[in-house]
Amino acid sequence: MRQAVVNPVLLTRQLQGWRASNDDAAYRSLAEALKLLVLDGRLALNARLPGERRLAEALGVSRITVSAALDRLRAEGFVISRVGSGSFTALPPGPATRPDPLHQLEPSGLIDMATAVAPAGAEVHAAYAQALASLPAHLPGHGYGPVGVDSLRRAIAGAYDSMGLATPADAIVVTAGAQNAFALLLRALCRPGDAVVIDHPSFHHAIDAITRAGLKHLPVPLAADGWDIDALTATIKRARPRLIYLIGAHHNPTGRVMTADQEAAVADAAHRAGSVLVFDDTLRELWFDTPPPAPKALGPHVVRLGSTSKAWWGGLRIGWIRAGDEVIDAVVRSRASMDLGVPIIEQLAAAILIAGDPAPLIERRRRIAAQEACLRRSLSEALPDWRVERPPGGLSLWVALPRPVSERLALSSVRHRVRIAPGTRFGVGGEFRRFIRLPFTLPEAELERAVDGLAAAWRGMDGQGRTRAVGFVSDPSVL
């Protein structure tokens, strides 16, 4: 197998803002930033790092600083050096340090509060069983499909029709999840160096996809009550970006919902700038009291992404693109270089769920609303100085800390058997150090245990966000 190599340019982008504190030596801050990239899964394991001199030049620091940071990471087990081969990313032994939970199972006892997905219900198994019974009708064909099976495309189009957005089936392309859909769009519509406007904070995997495609982020900060439409439309007018990516319904991570008039205003600005506007609707169906307003953004330049992963099950890798003919044609033309379609059985199961009985989805909404209330109540009791608001839907809370120490808290919390995602994971350039995202997808008893662990981790940190020398940690400078 070919050895993965860390690109120094991409690494420099991921490390933007790493030297945020004047209290720490530069090498220590750099080591902690690299450690967090490994723990988040943004750096693959066993990947060869750039040489010390090259990394120092890319970061604009001395080689001594880089050497000291790598020495620190070697001592902690996050880097392994091999004579004649270089330095490679690694994880130290033990249950407290694991990569991105999307890519590896968690050890027993560690509560995953970093992944915002819920388990499948009985209806998912039933849909697979029904899909298996209808599979023979598809077996005479070759099984490849650049746009998806007809029954699923009709079901998705019908779902848009029911929310007031008339949609023909041929406006749908089925993908292996919404993230795959976004990657296909970036491949088909953008070229390295193109600008992409995003709301800020934003979905971390979308930020990563933009970075890895060699595109330029243009983040527009969200206001206290949602989107700053004036700032957003002004940025679009000035930059004339190739693409705009927004999460308008139960925004990840803040939970905000864009109004229909705001959607229309952004769509008008995108049309005048010649930009493609992408709305990620992955969380649209997960509302508590009131559904999001019907989509009002219209036009062939408006694209919508959807998925079964949040509403039904993450293991059902089905997503889709709703777009006009020009975008659909561009995606289909470029798709074969990435994949040849989506497994038929998953498409059939998804069609059954989307077009079937709405009762399981209604029950899921009720359940996650109760779990959200439990998590928010537990936080207010155990950590009253943390600020959190009830979102209108979605799967997570965007929590404001009293101090900008979310990365250190993320590292400290694993000692108390809780994994969390720091706010910086959802930003560009190291922003949002005062925030963490906490999903409410676990059972209430586990949410309460997670809050207990977070409270213990918080109490173990001093006023500067360093972990005191208690419990698992003997050196307070480690965190």
Is the per-residue pLDDT at 463 higher than 60? no
Written as one string, the DSSP assignment of 384-440 is TTSB----SBSSEEEEEPSSS-HHHHHHHHGGGTEEEEEGGGGSSSS--TTEEEEE-
Is the per-residue pLDDT at 81 higher than 50? yes
Task: Establish whether the linkage from the previous residue to 253 is cis, with ω within 30° of 0.
Answer: yes
Note the pLDDT tens digit of each residue in 219-266.
Answer: 999 988 899 999 999 999 999 999 999 999 999 999 999 999 999 999
Structure tokens at 330: 């561009």
Q: For residue 452, what are the CA distances in angstroms to 158, 328, 445, 459?
A: 44, 48, 11, 11
Is the per-residue pLDDT at 466 higher than 80? no
Is the per-residue pLDDT at 479 higher than 60? no
**Domains of the chain in sequence order:** 8-89 (1.10.10.10), 111-116+361-478 (3.90.1150.10), 122-355 (3.40.640.10)
Note the pLDDT tens digit of each residue in 106-115.
Answer: 455 789 999 9
pLDDT band at 99 (very low <50, low <70, confident <90, very high): very low
pLDDT band at 20 (very low <50, low <70, confident <90, very high): low
Is the per-residue pLDDT at 470 higher than 70? no
Is the per-residue pLDDT at 477 higher than 70? no
Task: Give the CA-trace dihedral at 440, 444, 445, 446, to 10 degrees.
Answer: -20
For the entire predicted model, the pTM comes to: 0.79
Give the list of residues 6+ apart from residue 404 with CB closer than 8 angstroms, or none.
20, 433, 434, 465
Is the per-residue pLDDT at 438 higher than 50? yes
pLDDT band at 201 (very low <50, low <70, confident <90, very high): very high
Note the pLDDT tens digit of each residue in 231-244.
Answer: 999 999 999 999 99
Total Cβ atoms within 10 A of residue 176: 19
